Structure 1
Amino acid sequence: MEIVWQTPANPPERQDYIFHKGRRLVRPYYFEFISHVKNRWAGKTVVDFFAQEFKGRPYDYYVSAVQCGRIQVDGETVPVSYILRPSQKISHFLHRHEPPVMASDVTVLVEEPDVHPCGQYRKNTVVGILQAEHGLAPLFPVHRLDHLVSGLLILARNATKADLFRQQIEGGMLQKQYIAKVVGTFPEKEKDTHNSEKFTYNLF
């Protein structure tokens, strides 16, 4: 399988995905994490900087990464004793395997001119899939869907519209309706409307 180099500027594309046994997988890729040296980092060695600022990996990892060129400064391989200067570009190249997600299609209900990856995910996200398969970019999330919750997700085409939607939700001008399946008899007092959201319960 071909491994490609990518930076944050590379948008997700259709060929990035593989579908297998009901799951959507992302082709492995090398990713360039980019940062620029802040004044408080200047004067530190490149290895000490990473070891102090990014403690999720052991010191020896950063020594090895600098020596083999996975960590570079201004596009060049440097020694582990290299002293950082303000505004320099630091690149950290990592081989990424994103966790798979369900292979369900993301259906666009309405597209208007005024109407986007965190953690381990960059392409296997709603925003990434919409960009790759529908050419929708940039997109700005207005709200979120909790784990194991399905429903309508609103994304804005610009930051101004996203802020407007958020204000309407916070001000109670928009309502969300939840349908929850429960076992048994649900207490009457728990059926009251809460936080301007409407709840409907299906009992079975």
Structure 2
Amino acid sequence: MKRKRNEPEENMEIVWQSPANPPQRHDYIIRDGIRYVRPYYFEFISHAKNRWAGKTIVDLFADEFKGRDRDYYVSAVKAGRIQVDGQIVPISYVVRSSQKISHFLHSCRHEPPVMARDIHILHSEPDVLTVCKPASVPVHPCGQYRKNTIVGILQAEYDLAPLFRILLFLGLGIN
């Protein structure tokens, strides 16, 4: 039996996420004390390693990224979901070292929800930000999380970017 998703369905338009498009306030839905992220398409970016040079784009993906079968990669290249240097290429395209390779996920990402507690900024200096981290919210993008993180939420709610160093205060009972 399939489990039902916990995300609210109404007003769940799909948004785009890439490193050049950081989280925005409208990317979140807060309901019943839970912070949800609107589904979004994601661009995975890689730069061609020397060992990839000389391989066709399909061979490269089939050899290096075994999570999907070769037919998927043929289809993705033909549909433009795999691009080289921002250009759609044929399945016979031969990759050169250092080229930017983008893989746009065909299905949208669904991030797990987190508790919708405020992130209190306790102290701010030019190089250091000290915050009170709510439970259940990861600090940095990792795994299934890109926007539902301390870094993503601070970018969206406080327009703080880029963030490299955050001191966390793990307090109890702070609302």
Matched-pair contact (CA < 8 Å) for 1:26–1:98: yes
Shift of 1:120: 1.1
- In 2, Cα distance between equivalents of 1:27 and 1:40: 37
What is the CA-CA distance between 1:71 and the residue it aligns to?
0.7
Deviation of residue 75 (structure 1)? Answer: 2.1
- Is 1:138 matched up with 2:157? no
Given the alignment of the two structures, is residue 114 of structure 1 paired with residue 127 of structure 2, yes or no? yes
Question: Aligned pair in 2 of structure 1 residues 143, 55: CA closer, same or farther (>3 Å)?
Answer: farther
TM-score by length of 2: 0.74
Picking from 69, 76, 94, the partner of 1:83 is 94
Larger of the two Rg values belongs to structure: 1
- Residue 3 (structure 2) aligns with: none
Residue in 2 that maps onto 1:151: 170
Aligned length: 148
Matches of 1:56 and 1:19 in 2, distance apart?
33
Partner of 1:104: 117
**Partner SS for 2:122:** coil
So what's the TM-score if we normalise by structure 1? 0.65
Is the CA contact (8 Å cut-off) linking 1:5 and 1:30 kept in structure 2? yes
Q: Give the letter aligned to residue 151 of structure 1.
A: L
> Structure 1 pair 142/105, CA: closer, same or farther in 2 (3 Å)?
closer
Measured after TM superposition, the shift of residue 142 of structure 1 is 5.7
Question: Secondary structure of the residue that 2:153 maps to in structure 1?
Answer: helix
CA distance, structure 1, for counterparts of residue 32 and residue 166 of structure 2? 32
Alpha-carbon distance in structure 1 between the residues aligned to 2:60 and 2:37: 31
CA contact (8 A) 1:66 1:79 kept: yes
Rounded to whole Å, the distance in 1 between the matches of 2:44 and 2:148 is: 18
Deviation at 1:56, TM superposition (A): 1.9
- Equivalent position amino acid for 1:122 in 2: R
Going from structure 1 to structure 2, the CA distance change for 1:53 and 1:120 (only over 3 Å counts) comes to same
- The equivalent position to 1:40 in structure 2, one of 34, 48, 51, is 51
The amino acid that maps onto 2:119 is: V
CA distance in 2, matches of 1:88, 1:72: 10
* Aligned 8 A contact 2:53 2:96 in 1: yes
Select 1:60's aligned residue among 43, 54, 71.
Answer: 71
Structure 1, unmatched stretches of 5+, are: 145-149, 153-177, 179-204
Q: Which has the higher contact order (CA 8 A, sep 6+)?
A: 2
Tell me, in whole angstroms, the C-alpha distance in 2 between the residues paired with 1:142 and 1:106.
12
- Superposed CA RMSD in Å reads 2.2
